[in-house]
Amino acid sequence: MTNSADQEYSAVAGDARWQAIGKVDPRCLGQARWLALNIVQWPARIANSYVTGSTWPERTWMAWQPAADAIVTRSFDRALSLRLDLRTLELCFLEQGRRVPHAFDPEARSPAEAEAWILVELLHQGIDRTRFSKALPYDIPDLLTGDAEDYAPQSCAAELTELAAWYHNAFLSFATAAKEMGMSDPHIECSPQNLTMICRLGSDSKGPKRPAVELGFSPGRRAKDEPYFYVTPGSGAEEPRGVQAVMRSSTVAAADAPQESLSVFLRDAMSDVSQR
């Protein structure tokens, strides 16, 4: 799915630590999830237009940056990428991993203004703007468009902070699970189609060969209107299939030791899936 040479896909979390959760009911994150899903389509459009890859997942799936609690595209052109800060939904271009001036704060700004900002930044960077397309390789109904409605991340600032904490903790938990399987630097990716974070384990780990498994974190969907973790046999597909075990975020948050509770769930579920 990804180029192993892309340093932005490193799962090394450095000094990152588990973040406090439970300040906001996990079942009340729908507005934050919807806004994040809308705005992450701009990095997805940039990636689909400029990142090299024969399939749309190769172009559009993104990395999680634990130090910034942000989602970032794979690099293109002169080591450029586009990053989304999940806590504020601010967009900024990076050049060789460093921010360039003129970030986009979406508060009270419309999708049309976001598009205009991207086109101006592409011009500043000397990138061929004719290659940029708003078309997406998948369908998301009812996305905000044009000038009809503005983004309003400040209206759900606490919820966005909580959602970012869930992603941060999911990343750390997946990296820990990978380490226990002998993988020091697994690929942990985010899909812009549904904001699912996925870590595939087993097929290239050291030691005895084990069946591949997939660890996932979803911010919630209409059928499950709160974030949840899952473990499934690794499929390599864009969508998880054959989910074997699910743990809702409300269950994690209610545990006396949330980090340990999630780790036990992942470990037990991975063992169960591997034995099937």
Q: Kindly state whether residue 10 falls inside one of the protein's structural domains.
A: no
Share of the chain above pLDDT 70, in %: 85
Task: Specify the number of domains making up the chain.
Answer: 2
Q: Are both 41 and 119 inside the same structural domain?
A: yes
Of the candidates 107, 53, 48, which has an alpha carbon nearest to the alpha carbon of residue 82? 48
pLDDT in tens, 213-238: 899 999 998 666 899 999 998 765 44
pTM of the model: 0.89
CB of 38 within 8 A of CB of 115?
no
User: What is the H or E stretch that residue 171 is in?
Assistant: helix 157-180
Q: How confident is the model at residue 13 (pLDDT cuts 50, 70, 90)?
A: very low
Q: State mean pLDDT over 120-130.
A: 95
Report the chain's C-alpha Rg in angstroms.
18
Q: How confident is the model at residue 212 (pLDDT cuts 50, 70, 90)?
A: confident
3-state secondary structure of 271: helix
Copy the structure tokens of residue 148.
């009809």
pLDDT at residue 3 greater than cutoff 80 = no
pLDDT at residue 122 greater than cutoff 90 = yes
Q: Kindly state whether residue 261 falls inside one of the protein's structural domains.
A: yes
Of the candidates 195, 170, 232, which has an alpha carbon nearest to the alpha carbon of residue 11? 170
pLDDT on residue 162: 96
Q: Kindly state whether residue 17 falls inside one of the protein's structural domains.
A: no
Q: Are both 96 and 141 inside the same structural domain?
A: yes
**Dihedral sign of CA atoms 255, 69, 47, 145 in order:** positive
CB of 140 within 8 A of CB of 193?
yes
pLDDT in tens, 154-173: 999 999 999 999 999 999 99
DSSP code string of 3-62: -TT-GGG----TT--PPP--SS-GGG-HHHHHHHHHHTHHHHHHHHHHS--SSHHHHH-E
Which residues on adjacent β-strands are paired with residue 198? 189, 216
Q: Kindly state whether residue 235 falls inside one of the protein's structural domains.
A: yes
Q: Kindly state whether residue 175 falls inside one of the protein's structural domains.
A: yes
Q: Are both 166 and 140 inside the same structural domain?
A: no
Q: Are both 195 and 269 inside the same structural domain?
A: yes
Q: Kindly state whether residue 118 falls inside one of the protein's structural domains.
A: yes
